[in-house]
Structure 1
C-alpha cells in the first residue's frame, strides 16, 4: 500500500493535495503543522511527503531536516512564487524537489510520478551492506578517491561514507559516468526527475537553478573547492563535467 503524508497549514490546499494523491492511488495522512508531520512520517513511513515551507511554529526547513534524520521519503516542498529563493534553500534541507503555488494538479502528479521512477535510498539509520571482496568493476564507479555504488546508493570519499540525498547522488553519478563530456543543467534536471533522454520542453529555469543548488551542496559535502575542483568542474553557462 502506497502511503503519502501532506504537511500543509492551509486547509484548502491540504484538501486539494490529499485529493490529488488519493487519485494517484495513495492512502493519505494530512496535518497542518511540522511537528505533527514529523510524527506522521515516523509512524507511517510514507513513500512521498509534501511539505509547505511557510508554516506557523516549526517551518518547512526545520521539518525537512528532522524528517531527513530518519526517513528516505520523497520530499516535495511547496512554496509561494515570491519565496522561490527559499525553496532553493529548502533543497539544502533534504527536499528532493519543489513546486510553486499556485500549482496545477497535473503538475503535482507529474512531479510525483517522476520521483517514483527513481530508487529510494536506504534509511539513514539502516546498516550499510557489508563490503564484498568479489565486487565487480561495473558495480561501482571510482574517480580520484571518490567511490560510488549505484546498487546500494553508497558514496565514499577516501574511505569515509558521505550522506547524499537522492538528487545529489543521481547528479554525481551522472557526472562520474560522463567520461569527461559536458553535462548540461537541463540534462541533469531530467536525470533528477527520472526522465533521462526525454524532451526538455518542461524543464524550467527554476529546475536549472535547483541543479546549481544541488551541485553546491555536493561540493560542500565532498569538501571540494569550486576554484580547485577535485571531481566536479563547472563549464560556465552550460553545466558541469567530471574532472580529468
Structure 2
C-alpha cells in the first residue's frame, strides 16, 4: 500500500507544491494549515511521515513535534524558512529525522521523505533478528523495542538505530561519522552535532529509567556502549 505523508505548512502554495510532488511520487498525501489541525490529523489517522514547517503562527512546528513525540515515533521532516542552527539542533533534539531549509526543491523533499521511509520500513515484520541484552539493557530487534530492567523506554527510530549499532558491538568505539554511515549510508550530509543531540536524548531517556552508564564518550574519538549495570 502507498505510504501516507501529512504536509503541514501555513503557506497554501507550499502545501500545494509538496502535495503535488509527493503524490506524483506515489504517496498518499493529506495537509494541514496549522499546528492544531496537524495534531487533529495525526489523531484521526497516524501518517507514515509528517513534513512539518517550524515557523507557523499560534502553535509552531517544534511544539507540534514535541506533542507527536510524546505519544509515538512518527518520522518528522522539518521545513524552516531560515538556516538557523538553533532551530536545527532543537528540532533534532526533539526527535526530528531530517531537516530542509526553504527555499527548497520539491525533488529534494521527496528524496528526503523516501530516504526516511526506507529506514522506517526496516520496522516491518520481515526483518528478523535476536534480542540484544547487555547488563540491564535489552533490545528487541524484531519489535523495535528497548527496555531497561524490563521497563520499556520509548525511542524514536533514529535513537533505536544508534543504540542498536552500539549494542551490536559493545566493545567498539564508534566515531560520529561511523554512526552516520551505519544510519544513512556513506556521504549522508548531517553534522556531528546531530549525533551528539541523539546521544543526549538517549542518555536522558534512560537516565529517567535509572540508567547512568548507557553510553560512554571517548574524547576525540566517539561513543561506545557503557556497562549498562545501572
Name the TM-score class by shorter chain. 0.7 to 0.9
| Alignment counterpart, residue 210 of structure 1, candidates 194, 197, 204 | 194
Cα 1:49–1:155 change in 2 (3 A) is: same
What SS does the corresponding residue of 2:52 show, helix, strand or coil? strand
Task: Give TM-score scaled by structure 2 length.
Answer: 0.85
Q: Report the Cα distance in structure 1 between the residues aligned to 2:82 and 2:137, rounded to whole angstroms.
A: 37
Aligned equivalent of 1:140? 131
RMSD of aligned alpha carbons:
2.4
Number of equivalenced pairs? 219
Q: Report the Cα distance in structure 2 between the residues aligned to 1:187 and 1:100, rounded to whole angstroms.
A: 25
Q: Which runs of 5+ in 2 are unaligned?
A: 124-128
Q: Report the Cα distance in structure 2 between the residues aligned to 1:168 and 1:213, rounded to whole angstroms.
A: 10
Alpha-carbon distance, 1:116 to partner: 1.5
Aligned equivalent of 2:203? 219
Q: Report the Cα distance in structure 1 between the residues aligned to 2:103 and 2:148, rounded to whole angstroms.
A: 41
Q: Report the Cα distance in structure 2 between the residues aligned to 1:142 and 1:40, rounded to whole angstroms.
A: 37
Q: Report the Cα distance in structure 1 between the residues aligned to 2:152 and 2:38, rounded to whole angstroms.
A: 29
| Alignment counterpart, residue 181 of structure 2, candidates 180, 190, 196 | 190
Alpha-carbon distance, 1:99 to partner: 2.0
Q: Deviations over 1:154-183 (max 9, x none)?
A: 111122211111111000110111232222
The correspondence of residues 147-158 of structure 1 with structure 2, limited to 5 A, is 147-158=138-149
Q: Deviations over 1:12-68 (max 9, x none)?
A: 322222122112211211121000111112223211110011110011121112223
Aligned equivalent of 1:133? none
Aligned equivalent of 2:126? none
Alpha-carbon distance, 1:119 to partner: 3.5
Aligned equivalent of 1:130? none
Cα 1:25–1:49 change in 2 (3 A) is: same
